[in-house]
């Protein structure tokens, strides 16, 4: 029982540290803020290809979180990167991965694609 409490405590501490670190490295933007800047940035949808095909923000490039490590070189470090996923969790993890590799101008859509009300493109 004591070991379980120690493990649970460690998980909570890790989660809190990760949360605050993520808030420092990636700026969460409202849809209005996101819309104001994404056209001048690299717009990346980190959802899986089937999610992307079902509907994505017009102009977005699909680099799933599961492929990001291998495809990171497709992104430029000298331009802002606007990330989004379905609800904001994966884009936060993607920002952490990018930050560790030297990317600094990182933004993500607060609430993710499910909150997006702008133009959407779907594969026919």
Name 29's bridge partners: 109
DSSP output for the chain: -HHHHHHHHHHHHHHHHHHHHHHHHSEEE-HHHHHHHGGGSEEEE-S-HHHHHH-EETT-EE--GGGHHHHGGGS-TTS-EEEE-SSSHHHHHHHHHHHHTT---EEEETT-GGG--S-EE---
Residues marked as catalytic: 85
Which tokens sit at 7? 């493990």
């Amino acid at each position: 029982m004591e070991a379980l409490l120690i493990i649970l405590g460690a998980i909570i501490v890790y989660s809190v540290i990760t949360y605050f670190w993520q808030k420092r490295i990636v700026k969460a933007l409202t849809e209005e803020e996101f819309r104001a800047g994404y056209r001048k940035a690299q717009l990346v949808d980190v959802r899986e290809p089937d999610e992307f095909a079902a509907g994505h923000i017009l102009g977005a490039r699909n680099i799933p979180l599961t492929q990001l490590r291998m495809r990171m070189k497709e992104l430029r470090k000298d331009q802002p990167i606007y990330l989004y996923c379905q609800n904001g969790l994966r884009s936060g993890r993607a920002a952490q991965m990018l930050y560790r590799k030297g990317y600094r101008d990182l933004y993500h859509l607060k609430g993710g694609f499910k909150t997006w009300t702008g133009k959407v493109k779907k594969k026919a």
